[in-house]
């Protein structure tokens, strides 16, 4: 796979960093999650393809263990607020002095500098500070966050993975690692570059513009059986096919871009969609360029013909249903692990041995409660 041979140490965290580590693992990196002691369950649920090592970083000897691991690793990924790693004597100045090739990825909500760098936050806070949240929501209602996807996973985990890829590529020229300051606020704002460069599209209040739910031809509609259809017929030729599929007469309708008529048109479209089931609308629109598609539930996605054609979702005995890692590379595609997620501390001894720790050192660290090893019990 593309990242075969790349060694990554991921310090345990929630959501963005585990996702970043999982992406790297899916594409072949050897990812070791460094877990905290006295934790029995991984709360991230994004451990596919990783191994788990438990070490107490709050103890000086535990921090020394991680420094020794980082001396032989390619990437260390940490999800803490500014100053936490420095307090543990594990900041980039120390680790890169011992391993100049180390790529030190810092994934945080507000970044490593600025007045908010040391305060707590979650996806909705980062989304708010990026400016993007102000554009999301229905007319006359409060802004709302689209789950915790934009800041945590897109502006955070995925942007950080991109930064790691760029740093790995640059290292092939310079031979040196670098520090990646991945701020979820800035990552989300960067994702929103189109919004900043197309302000004319957002001149009306939130929820009354072309692409934010204001247009009747860019919205979702409930069907007779309680399902939903998504409509994105922006271009005139696609809009014409939408009107045809709905059974409406173009000469009896206002012009597509008559914004004053949009609210009434949305009501008309809603009335029409409510007369047929989702399956019936699929029969009408599938294979056309009307840009009308069913809103699939998690239970439906694996059964949709297009997704089956491409193998877009994988059903695995251990992992259940998972989206196939994207993008699809022709020569070195990702091969997600089919193994169960690791138990916390399952690979502590194995990893330490690989990084040059002797059996005597490992036993002493266990005895002194610097590390924990939690191997699964064999089935009787």
252-263 mean pLDDT: 95
Which of 75-79, 134-138, 336-340 bottoms out in mean pLDDT, i.e. has the lowest?
A: 336-340
Among 3.40.50.300, 3.40.50.10540, 3.30.390.30, 3.20.20.150, what is the CATH number of 7-193+318-372? 3.40.50.10540
Please say whether the beta carbons of 15 and 109 come within 8 A: no
- The CATH superfamily label for domain 218-295 reads formyl-coa transferase, domain 3 (3.30.1540.10)
109-116 mean pLDDT: 96
Copy the structure tokens of residue 217: 């031809």
Asked whether residue 108 carries a pLDDT value surpassing 80, the answer given is yes
Q: Domain residues of the chain, as ranges?
A: 7-193+318-372, 218-295
Q: What is the pLDDT of residue 380?
A: 41
Asked whether residue 172 carries a pLDDT value surpassing 70, the answer given is yes
242-262 mean pLDDT: 95
266-277 mean pLDDT: 98
Contacts of residue 369, defined as CB under 8 A and 6 or more positions apart, other chains included, come to 37, 56
pLDDT tens readout for residues 53-73: 999 999 999 999 999 999 999
Asked whether residue 319 carries a pLDDT value surpassing 90, the answer given is no
Q: What is the pLDDT of residue 142?
A: 97
Q: What is the pLDDT of residue 376?
A: 80
Quote the CA–CA distance of 372 and 355 in Å, as a whole number.
16
For a pLDDT cut of 70, what percent of the chain falls above it? Answer: 99
Question: Higher pLDDT residue, 316 or 322?
Answer: 322
pLDDT tens readout for residues 275-314: 999 999 999 999 999 999 999 999 999 999 999 999 999 9
When computed from its CA atoms, the radius of gyration of the chain, rounded to whole angstroms, is 25
7-193+318-372 and 218-295 have identical folds = no
Q: What is the pLDDT of residue 345?
A: 94
Q: What is the pLDDT of residue 173?
A: 97
Q: Which of 152, 181, 212, 341 is catalytic?
A: 152
> Is 122 assigned a catalytic role?
yes
Quote the CA–CA distance of 44 and 225 in Å, as a whole number.
35
Tokens 């059974």 found at: 247
Q: What is the pLDDT of residue 207?
A: 94
Beta bridge partners of 159: none
pLDDT tens readout for residues 28-48: 999 999 999 998 888 788 999
Region at 357 (left for phi over 0; alpha for psi -120 to 50; beta for the rest): beta
Q: What is the pLDDT of residue 189?
A: 98
Q: How confident is the model at residue 199 (pLDDT cuts 50, 70, 90)?
A: confident
């Amino acid at each position: 796979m593309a990242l075969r041979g790349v060694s990554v140490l991921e310090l345990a965290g929630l959501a963005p960093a585990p996702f970043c580590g999982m992406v790297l693992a899916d594409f072949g990196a050897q990812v070791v999650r460094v877990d905290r002691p006295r934790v029995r369950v991984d709360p991230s649920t994004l451990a596919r393809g990783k191994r788990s090592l438990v070490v107490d970083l709050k103890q000086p000897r535990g921090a020394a263990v991680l420094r020794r691991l980082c001396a032989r690793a390619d990437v260390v990924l940490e999800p803490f607020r500014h100053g936490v790693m420095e307090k543990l004597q594990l900041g980039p100045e120390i680790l890169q002095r011992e391993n100049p090739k180390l790529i030190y990825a810092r994934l945080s909500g507000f970044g490593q500098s600025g007045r908010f760098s040391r305060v707590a936050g979650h996806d909705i806070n980062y989304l708010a500070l990026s400016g993007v949240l102000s554009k999301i929501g229905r007319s006359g209602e409060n802004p709302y966050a689209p789950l915790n996807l934009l800041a945590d996973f897109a502006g955070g985990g995925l942007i950080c993975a991109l930064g790691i890829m760029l740093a790995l590529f640059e290292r092939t020229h310079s031979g040196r690692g670098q520090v990646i300051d991945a701020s979820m606020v800035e990552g989300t704002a960067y994702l929103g570059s189109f919004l900043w460069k197309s302000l004319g599209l957002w001149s009306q209040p939130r929820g009354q513009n072309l692409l934010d739910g204001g247009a009747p031809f860019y919205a979702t509609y409930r069907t007779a059986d309680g399902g939903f259809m998504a409509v994105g017929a922006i271009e005139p030729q696609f809009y014409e096919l939408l009107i045809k599929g709905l059974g409406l007469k173009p000469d009896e309708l206002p012009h597509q871009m008559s914004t004053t008529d949009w609210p009434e048109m949305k009501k008309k479209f809603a009335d029409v969609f409510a007369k047929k089931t989702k399956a019936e609308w699929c029969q009408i629109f599938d294979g056309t360029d009307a840009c009308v598609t069913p809103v699939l539930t998690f239970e439906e996605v694996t059964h949709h013909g297009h997704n089956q054609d491409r193998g877009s979702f994988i059903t695995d005995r251990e992992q259940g249903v998972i989206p196939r890692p994207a993008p699809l590379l022709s020569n070195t595609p990702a091969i997600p692990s089919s193994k169960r997620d690791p138990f916390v501390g399952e690979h502590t001894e194995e990893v330490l041995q690989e990084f040059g720790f002797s059996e005597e050192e490992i036993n002493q660290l266990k005895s002194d409660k610097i590390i924990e090893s939690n191997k699964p019990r064999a089935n009787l």
